[in-house]
Structure 1
Amino acid sequence: MAQPTRRHRPLRSLIILGGLVLALFGSLLAGSRWSDASLTPKLALDLEGGTQIILQPVTENDEEVTPETISEAIAVIRQRVDSSGVAEAEITSQGGRNIVVALPGRPDAETLALVRTSAQMELRPVLTVSGPAPVEDPAEADPAADPAATAAPTDGEPAAADAAATPAADAAATPAPAPEAAATPAPTETAAPSDEPGKEAPDNASDLTYYATPKVQADFAALDCTDPANLTGGVQGPADRALVTCDPDGTAKYLLGPVEIQGTNIANATSGLEVTQTGATTNNWVVNMELDGEGTRIFRDTTTRLQALTQPQNQFAMVLDGLVISAPSLATGVIISDGKAQISGDFTRETAATLASQLNFGALPLTFEVQSEEQISATLGAEQLEKGLIAGLIGLGLVVVYSLFQYRALGLVTVASLIAAGVLTFGVISVLSWTQGYRLSLPGVAGLIVAIGITADSFIVYFERIRDELRDGRTLQAAVDKGWERARQTILASDAVNFLAAIVLYLLAVGGVRGFAFTLGLTTIIDLVVVFLFTHPLMLLLARTKFFGEGHPLSGLDRRRLGGTAPRYAGRGRVVSAGNAGTASLESTSEPKVPVTAGVGGSGQTIAQRRAAAAAAARTTEPGPDAAAPDPSPGDGAAEPTSGRTEGNEH
């Protein structure tokens, strides 16, 4: 029973690729007209230039600014810049005292303000915690996202009573409409929620009824912590009001009460392994925080109040630069009266050291003074870019020349595939530059140049597999199918290794090397897209043409040039004829098979095959057991045989 033939639809693959290209450049055209998109990728600092700001950290009491403080200040500024969407920014330390911030292009005033703004540390009580996603209707939200539904009572009354009092107070404060206005249709717009508290004065800093006004609750419900724009920090909020904010990772959002302890009240913070009351050291990493005299007094009152509350109101949040870096809960029955707190949790050595560094940074009343602000050019980068592009064009030209010399007309498929990969790469980088703020740096250009060799290597593997199948006697259409089955695994394995190397390099490297790793990984994915959706479908179409299908000498698929016209020995006495379209023909004879291999040795046979052929020829000339002996001639001096006896044997 014949095997069912596989249906190929190369046109569908080419249409999918064409649709992808149209979608990329169509979105760019639409974005350039109705948004701030550009038809070309944005360039990084080394290729375009930008703005350089030199900041000098200054303390109020002329305290020493340590290198650790400088490093933490750089981390805070980097968090702001990265979350604002500015890519390829360079933030470094200069002389151990100053911070140099270089932003590519012309940053807007908001980004420059984020760089200049000082970072402060605050300790606030937690009122409510929920997931990072926004809630359209706070009334229909999950109870964890509704502050009034989850809060524990703070003044001895049920939380439901406090929540019910808020709308009533708003309704009483709203004036009744005039009689003539009653006939007028009511406007469809919803009135802004009130920011008036539900009572005249708070009982304490955890009083949810007072601080969670309708406006605060609406802001909390609408906050989207998955949006990087809400993770920039730099917004402290009023010290005597509630604060709605996120954590730096965007995994949770918080509704916090007013500031109870300033960062300047933190005397010291260290990290280390936990030591029990008996003096034993465990394997758990903790952070030890010590407060000054004023902080100790306030924290004693705070922990006493938090002990009477339930989760999450028994937590206090450490807010650095407007974002919650940690929100530990108070252990049951613990009241910290000596100002020495131990923060434990799922800490590692690195995370514990980071938190301790952040607390020490917040302990300093640190401000940034702008020493200088100037525009920097990209003269050196432009020169390097020009040389890099020349090197890339030379490499691309050599690949094209080699492909045409080695594969003749088949090399045009390589050229077309490289063009398709280049168009896709340009479109993807342009879209990422528009939507994600990506900027192309000089190391990124180097990654694009390296990608030329990676992409060409995939085509060479595929073409050589097709040639091998033609040498085996298959037709071009069968060779394209069989060669694709074998080459596909090799291409996938090779690109997987390249992509894994790009991921490791991106995670471990810093600075411009990450730009190289990013473009290397991106072009590796595009290489697979082009091979699967362009090169292979194009070869299926070319196999149906007369020029390539019949093996024209200029097609690069001529069997005579490939050494595939002679019969091929397939083992076990089988000889494959090149004209049988890849089907093996067995010699139906009782004589031993003489294997033939084209192009091996001077006679077209291997040494073992020649020996087998000689042995077979010797066996054909050897007399069989029933063969008659030749008649000797009398003149040869041989004795004539007698009947049944030999003379000289008688007795």
Structure 2
Amino acid sequence: MATRKRPGGRPLRPLLFLLLIVAAIFGSVGAGAKWGDASFTPELALDLEGGTQIILTPNTTDGQEVTSDDVNQAIAIIRQRVDGSGVSEAEITSQGGRNIVVAMPGNPSQETIDLVSASAVMRMRAVLVESGPGAIDPAALEPGEEPTDGSTADPTADPTADPTAEATDAAPDGALPRETTPTPSPSDEATSESGEEPTAEPTDGATDAPAATPEEIDEAAFAAADADGNGELSNTPATEPTSASDTAWITEQVTYDFYRLDCSLPENRTGGGGDDPDAPLVACTTDGAAKYILGPAELSGSDLTSAQMVYQTTSTGAATNIPVVQMNFTSEGGEKFAEITTRLAGLAAQPPLNQFAIVLDGNVISAPGVDEPIPNGEATISGPETNPFTRSQAQTLANQLNFGSLPITFDVQSQEQISATLGGEQLRNGVIAGLIGLVLVVLYTVFQYRGLAFVTLTSLAVAGALTYGAILLLSWLQGYRLSLPGVAGLIIAIGVTADSFIVYFERIRDEVREGRVLTAAVEQGWLRARRTILASDAVNFLAAVVLYFLAVGGVRGFAFTLGLTTLVDIVVVFLFTHPMMKILARTKFFGDGHPMSGLDPVHLGATVAAYAGRGRTRTRAERTAVAANANRMTIAERRAAEARERAEAESPDDGAVVGAKASDEQEGKR
């Protein structure tokens, strides 16, 4: 027997799916509140909660002048420290072009405050090992085994196993160190000089096992680093190193630190100095694209007099349009650099041993390779021939080198707790404004749409619950803090969401005016309204994305909440409003067009009778009866009824015959 299927599908399915989403969000927050540090109250930004303000003054120990470029570079370094420490919504600005004001929301730890005020130091070290950014993969390594990805810390290993460290071609003029590892651009662009994306999969496959816990990574790293299997990690070189490029510096402890380091995590790139210049160093690039084992420091920033962005010249002296960075050393620094480059040039066949890393604030900003000895104290860093520096990349590197060449320290001028710049009163006023807007929307829908105001109110409640849950989840997992501009974005979302409902309701009412029964009007109105709603939300979301990436300060908070609520609007309209309308269309109050339902055909000016062919019309009651009978018919019965109607429209006599045949065929099937 044929099954009967009601038109409009099964509206309960999307409602159940939406219920699962809401339950998952608040269930996760509840679990985090019980067993973690989550809360059912969102974290507030500096303008609403207050926090700690530190005023720093950069000074040089030798009396050199600190320029505005130096201050900007110091701000970039401090920002990386703050972001890496997990503090969000911090404000770091320049005061009068001289002082640096760091304002952090809440009560940051003393460790974070000390990290912010620590001096930035630049040192140059020989590269011993280069690898992708990820930590060791426990699933791909048995205890006691060495990694097979070319990033091994075995002193006897052939460093040429690392395919990312191939030497570049000889440079013009014969003495140009060439950049072979990624260097950040001024705005942390997602491109590197090697032409690779920083987010690309690391060569060691470390990110293939995201489920690995820190304990499993530590255990695997310890097992791989413990070469003699005695259960202890030695930090003493097996043999006396002969130079800073000697791989004998790589002890078991250094190997362990290298294996467990994951440079893709911002907290591992906070910097802050503290590295021992007489010991090897495990470090990341500032963008987290690679990690290194480096030998002891051989040069410091004080050995560098200046650095500037220039354009490369050919062997004949002709200028090109390829930006490079020119470094000038002091007389003493030039002599040391000549010895270093002579040694590194002799290792050109064994990359990455022919590279030297420039480490600023504990992170590698550049690691160029050396092709030939450089005896005159003037060196030039260029990008690979396949992907040379851009002007902005070269200028950024020059600024970093100039900053590192100054013996800069940060003097704390003041440190104080600051109250919320806007405070609880402004937040309360903002919430009141939002409630007023909500009440006005509800009153308008009650006046204009009567019973449909129930749908508007419940849809707004669901949208509010989803948005609040998403903010709670982001506050817990990503450290998001709600600012007053973000509150403004939430208030605007009320109008954005209500606009989607109005578009849908008006489409349904248009269909009712044309004489359709409500169940058919809901489906047809949805098909017409859906495109308009998606187009409108797409424009809002695009505007939010542009604002977020191009704006600064509080405008980004506004753009974030605007984009979030736009996505929530789409979810609510598709998974709640439309299914709810399909359910209400089947009720007597809405389906029969009660005057208070907002869908009364008489008040909407619907056509009383509709043309049915052959000069005949049908009243609304007749159309409603036909639709009701159609809902109770099987597919075969409905097809037979349609055949009879077509036959009657063409010829009453012939239609009777055809209708009789259709009825006989139907009886035969039964």
* Superposition TM-score tier, normalisation by shorter sequence: 0.7 to 0.9
Report the residue type matching 1:77 in the other structure.
I
Given the alignment, which residue of 179, 204, 227 partners 2:243? 204
Shift, 1:274, TM fit: 2.1
Specify the alignment match of 1:228 in structure 2: 266
Say if 1:145 and 1:221, in contact at 8 Å, map to a contact too. no
Percent identity over the alignment? 59
Specify the alignment match of 2:207 in structure 1: none
Point out the more displaced range, 37-46 or 281-290: 281-290
Matched, 1:545 2:587: yes
Higher relative contact order (CA 8 A, sep 6+): 2
Say if 1:216 and 1:575 are closer, same or farther in 2 by CA, change over 3 A: farther
Structure 1 residues 239-291: Cα deviation after superposition (integer angstroms, max 9, x where no partner): 11111121122222111111111012111111133222323222222111111
Say if 1:410 and 1:362 are closer, same or farther in 2 by CA, change over 3 A: same
Shift, 1:171, TM fit: 4.5
How many residues align? The count is 557
Report the residue type matching 1:405 in the other structure.
F
Matched, 1:60 2:61: yes
Structure 1 residues 36-61: Cα deviation after superposition (integer angstroms, max 9, x where no partner): 22211110111000001111111111
Given the alignment, which residue of 140, 146, 149 partners 1:143? 149
Matched, 1:40 2:83: no
Report the residue type matching 2:419 in the other structure.
S
Point out the more displaced range, 575-584 or 45-54: 575-584
Q: State how far apart, in whole Å, the 2-side matches of 1:549 and 1:457 are.
A: 24
Specify the alignment match of 2:201 in structure 1: none
Specify the alignment match of 2:252 in structure 1: 214
Q: Where does 1:110-189 land on structure 2 (aligned, <5 Å)?
A: 110-135=111-136, 136=138, 137=141, 139=145, 141-148=147-154, 149-151=157-159, 171=228
Say if 1:171 and 1:134 are closer, same or farther in 2 by CA, change over 3 A: closer
Shift, 1:9, TM fit: 2.8
Matched, 1:409 2:415: no
Specify the alignment match of 2:359 in structure 1: 319
Specify the alignment match of 2:573 in structure 1: 531
Q: State how far apart, in whole Å, the 1-side matches of 2:259 and 2:479 are.
A: 28
Structure 1 residues 51-87: Cα deviation after superposition (integer angstroms, max 9, x where no partner): 0111111111111111111111011001111121211
Structure 1 residues 118-174: Cα deviation after superposition (integer angstroms, max 9, x where no partner): 111111111112111211348353322213244269xxxxxxxxxxxx9999749x6
Say if 1:123 and 1:317, in contact at 8 Å, map to a contact too. yes
In terms of Rg, which structure is larger?
1
Specify the alignment match of 2:368 in structure 1: 328
Shift, 1:4, TM fit: 8.8
Structure 1 residues 529-558: Cα deviation after superposition (integer angstroms, max 9, x where no partner): 111111112112212211111111111111
Partner of 1:143, secondary structure, is coil
Say if 2:614 and 2:649, in contact at 8 Å, map to a contact too. no
Q: Where does 1:564-579 land on structure 2 (aligned, <5 Å)?
A: 564-567=606-609, 578=620
Partner of 1:392, secondary structure, is helix
Q: State how far apart, in whole Å, the 1-side matches of 2:366 and 2:612 are.
A: 71
Specify the alignment match of 2:94 in structure 1: 93
Structure 1 residues 171-194: Cα deviation after superposition (integer angstroms, max 9, x where no partner): 49x6xxxxxxxxxxxxxxxx2422
Shift, 1:398, TM fit: 0.8
Q: State how far apart, in whole Å, the 2-side matches of 1:572 and 1:300 are.
A: 103
Specify the alignment match of 2:375 in structure 1: 337
Matched, 1:193 2:233: yes
Specify the alignment match of 1:163 in structure 2: none
Specify the alignment match of 1:27 in structure 2: 28
Specify the alignment match of 2:515 in structure 1: 473
Say if 1:194 and 1:9 are closer, same or farther in 2 by CA, change over 3 A: farther
Q: State how far apart, in whole Å, the 1-side matches of 2:492 and 2:97 are.
A: 37
TM-score (norm 1): 0.80
Shift, 1:384, TM fit: 2.3
Say if 1:49 and 1:375, in contact at 8 Å, map to a contact too. yes
Partner of 2:602, secondary structure, is helix
Partner of 1:245, secondary structure, is strand
Report the residue type matching 2:11 in the other structure.
P
Report the residue type matching 2:147 in the other structure.
A
Say if 1:575 and 1:57 are closer, same or farther in 2 by CA, change over 3 A: farther
Q: Where does 1:501-540 land on structure 2 (aligned, <5 Å)?
A: 501-540=543-582
TM-score (norm 2): 0.78
Q: State how far apart, in whole Å, the 1-side matches of 2:528 and 2:226 are.
A: 76
Report the residue type matching 1:55 in the other structure.
L
Say if 1:381 and 1:442, in contact at 8 Å, map to a contact too. no
Report the residue type matching 2:118 in the other structure.
T
Shift, 1:477, TM fit: 1.7
Long gaps (5+) in structure 1:
154-165, 175-190, 591-651
Matched, 1:245 2:286: no
Partner of 1:554, secondary structure, is coil
Point out the more displaced range, 7-16 or 81-90: 7-16
Partner of 2:126, secondary structure, is strand
Report the residue type matching 2:324 in the other structure.
V
Specify the alignment match of 2:303 in structure 1: 265
Q: State how far apart, in whole Å, the 2-side matches of 1:570 and 1:113 are.
A: 83
Q: State how far apart, in whole Å, the 1-side matches of 2:67 and 2:326 are.
A: 20
Q: State how far apart, in whole Å, the 2-side matches of 1:265 and 1:574 are.
A: 100
Q: State how far apart, in whole Å, the 1-side matches of 2:225 and 2:282 are.
A: 24
Given the alignment, which residue of 314, 320, 335 partners 1:297? 335
Given the alignment, which residue of 462, 475, 485 partners 1:420? 462
Say if 1:471 and 1:122 are closer, same or farther in 2 by CA, change over 3 A: same
Shift, 1:409, TM fit: 1.0
Say if 1:170 and 1:530 are closer, same or farther in 2 by CA, change over 3 A: closer
Partner of 2:563, secondary structure, is helix
Say if 1:473 and 1:576, in contact at 8 Å, map to a contact too. no
